Amino acid sequence: MELLVLGGTSFAGRHVVERALTAGHSVTTFNRGRTNPALFAEVRSLRGDRTSGDYAALEGCGPFDAVVDMCAYVPRAVREAITALGPDGLNGPYILISSVSAYAEPQAHGEVQSGFVEGSPLATLPAGIDAGSEDVTGETYGPLKVLTEEAAEALLPGGVMIIRPGLIVGPHDPTDRFTYWVRRMAEGGEILAPESSDVARTQVIDASDMASWIVSSAAAGRTGTYNAVAPALPLARVFGPDADVVWVPWEFLESKKVQPWADLPAWLPARMAGMLMADGSKAAAAGLHNRSIEAVVADIADWDRARPQEPLRAGMTRERQAELLRM
């Protein structure tokens, strides 16, 4: 298979390229060349900047059996990429990585318990924001992903695979959102956790598991829309049975200005838990295999130990945690 990956050297796209090469496929990447530019010496690397509409390197470089678009956040990005490839540039699916943020908040639709299925209502732009806006914020990220999906489908009707992942975790994650919990376990001592062991939940998708499925889907010519998530699980499963976890009521933490997702990443309060309960059964039936959370955590721990132990980009400091536990 001739595979084109838009992105491919940072995090999730890096795993896609690795899985494709391991499977014996031929890979071309298209990116700005700013992140790990020498990572894959054996792939054809094309340079261009999507933010400025520079797709010249893509023109006439196909045909490809599939495209995996890791980094389209606005409709213009897919329109320009598909146009640059031209009518003869793609002989298979255009696989667009979207997000479960494409769904409208479940509280508005009575879905808190069941979470999102692929047919759940989708997010819309806030009033006053034009559909042509490219200002990606917390409010517009999901709605713009929806419009990006629609743009791809409009140009390639029936030829698009839309993947809506939840929180993507694994080695090389630049956000450190899930790595925060893994490192805290490795450091030992008391671990402050929100709510209680029977309430606090999270939902993730391992980057390598998702990448393997993306590559096999590309080879199979799969299209359609899929939630790429593992089943939601208690946060206690992430810690393991031997961790010294101190469960602190969320009401107390909230009164101390602790922020979900920032100070306590990969977790949301129980009243917002529907955001972490997407239904991944359709993807599982189509071949997405999720390894155990224990295996996922072990991979992240190995990677984190091997890299420089710099401060994490997410989560609270040990000092702040100790302060809260003393209160």
CA distance 5 to 78: 13
Q: Which of the four pLDDT bands, split at 50, 70 and 90, describes residue 120?
A: very high
Residue 131 is predicted with a pLDDT of 87
Q: How confident is the model at residue 110 (pLDDT cuts 50, 70, 90)?
A: very low
Residue 51 tokens read as 């933010």
Determine the straight-line distance between the first and last CA of the chain, rounded to whole angstroms: 59
Q: Which helix (H) or strand (E) holds 233?
A: strand 233-234
Q: Give the confidence band of 274 by pLDDT, cuts at 50, 70, 90.
A: confident
At residue 212, the pLDDT reads 98
Residue 213 has pLDDT above 80, yes or no: yes
Q: Are 70 and 135 in contact (CB under 8 A)?
A: no
Confidence at residue 276, expressed as pLDDT on a 0 to 100 scale: 86
Edge-to-edge strand order for the sheet containing 94-97? 44-47, 26-31, 2-6, 66-69, 94-97, 160-165, 224-228
Q: Read off the pLDDT of residues 66-92 as tens digits, 9 standing for 90 and up.
A: 999 999 999 999 999 999 999 999 999
pLDDT at 192 over 60: yes
Q: What is the mean pLDDT of residues 313-325?
A: 95
Across residues 295-319, what is the average pLDDT?
A: 96
What pLDDT is recorded for position 109?
A: 42
CA 94/CA 143 separation, integer angstroms? 20
DSSP summary character for residue 291 = P
Nearest C-alpha neighbor of 228 from the set 155, 153, 170: 170
In contact, 160 and 152? CB cutoff 8 Å: yes
Rounded Cα gap, residues 285 and 315, in angstroms: 34
Rounded distance between C-alpha atoms, residue 307 and residue 120, angstroms: 40
Residues 132-154 have a mean pLDDT of 95
Average pLDDT rounded to a whole number, residues 178-198:
95
- Which residues on neighbouring strands pair with residue 193, listed in sequence order? 247
Check residue 203 and give its pLDDT.
95
Residue 112 has pLDDT above 90, yes or no: no
pLDDT at 105: 81
Round to whole Å and give the CA distance between 92 and 89: 9
What is the per-residue pLDDT for 108? 40
pLDDT in tens, 259-270: 999 999 999 898
Residue 325 CA to residue 327 CA, distance in Å, equals 6
- Say what the pLDDT of residue 279 is: 94
Cα dihedral value 270, 276, 277, 282, nearest 10: 180
* pLDDT given for residue 106 in this prediction: 66
Q: Are 270 and 279 in contact (CB under 8 A)?
A: no
Which amino acid would we find at residue 236?
A
